[in-house]
Amino acid sequence: MPILPTLLLLGCHTVTPGIEKPTDYGSNKDDDTGSGGGCTSTSTVVDGTVVTSLGFSAADLIAQVGGVTSQPLSWLAAEEDTLLTLDVAWTTGEVRFVDQESDGTGLGDTGGSNACGDWLEVDVNVGFSTDDGVFAESWPLTLQASGVDRSSFTQDLDAVTLTGTFDKWDYADPTADYASLGAAVGGVLAPGGGYGAVTLAGEGWEDPDCQHDGCVAWESRETAATWGESGS
């Protein structure tokens, strides 16, 4: 089933002791987008007006979560609000039905968040702009939805050229000695708006000069800004 973005992670640090420090420290980890977790996935391109076994079509989904919405976005460190406008448009973007089945290991048969659920993927264009000019973006993104009134999206801000003034270092911890720092936008679309966050993911070493086995690494997950309420 689709994984909704993890939101509102405020200054969380994880320390991993006793690992070997690599010569070239990299922050990017391979995304697990294939089979796993006890499930196998099959993706099939479908017409946007076809009602899937989920009980809705891509057109039904966009009727619920598409269009233009505006709501306050709060920059947490500055304690300032601006107006965020989301513009979700779908015309001819590809639509895929993803069917998941148990792979026989039993890991996907436990129910709840581990169950092998199906979902719909819809390629859309998302306008993401704020009145303060920090964001003035338009991104081709994929919505994921297992229900007609809610879908999720993510955008790696390091993977695109930004039109607005956003600079991740403006929102990073000035006392942290980062080896790498990434930034992303993640959100959930719902009728009338939804919710989401601008997040930072950092990595570094407790002793940046450590050059031997047993160096201590840390990871941080910080939230630069949020909009909406998770219960919306």
147, exposed or middle or buried, with CB in 10 Å at 0-12, 13-18, 19+? middle
Please give the full DSSP string across 128-190, using - where no structure is assigned.
EEETTSS-EEEEEEEEEEEETTEEEEEEETTSS--SS---GGGSS-TT--EEEEEEEEEEEEE
Distance of CA 122 to the CA centre of its chain: 15
> How much is the average pLDDT of 42-52?
94
Of the pLDDT bands very low, low, confident and very high (cuts 50, 70, 90), residue 9 is very low
Reported as a pLDDT band with limits 50, 70 and 90, residue 230 is confident
**229 vs 82, which has greater pLDDT?**
82
> Are the C-beta atoms of 142 and 128 separated by less than 8 Å?
no
Domain residue extents for the chain: 12-25+42-227
User: Distance (Å, rounded) from C-alpha 43 to C-alpha 120?
Assistant: 9
Q: Phi and psi for 159 in degrees, rounded to 5? A: -95, 0
Q: Does 64 have pLDDT greater than 70?
A: yes
* pLDDT tens, position by position, 185-207: 999 999 988 999 999 999 998 88
Mean pLDDT in residue range 144-165: 96
Res. 5: pLDDT tops 70: no
Across residues 61-74, what is the average pLDDT?
96
Residue 209 pLDDT class (50, 70, 90 cuts): confident
pLDDT digits (tens, 9 = 90+) for 94-138: 999 999 888 777 554 555 444 788 999 999 999 999 999 999 999
Whole-number mean pLDDT of the chain? 82
- Give the pLDDT mean for 161-180: 94
Contact 208, 221 (CB under 8 A): no
The token duo for 232 is: 């919306």
pLDDT for res 33: 37
Percentage above 70 pLDDT, the chain = 79
Q: Using the predicted structure, report yes or no on whether residue 223 has a pLDDT greater than 90.
A: yes
For residue range 11-35, what is the model confidence (pLDDT) as tens digits?
Answer: 444 444 333 333 332 222 233 334 5
What pLDDT, on the 0 to 100 scale, is given for residue 168?
Answer: 97
Instruction: Identify the pLDDT of residue 31.
Output: 31
pLDDT of 25 reads: 25
Q: What is the pLDDT of residue 210?
A: 81
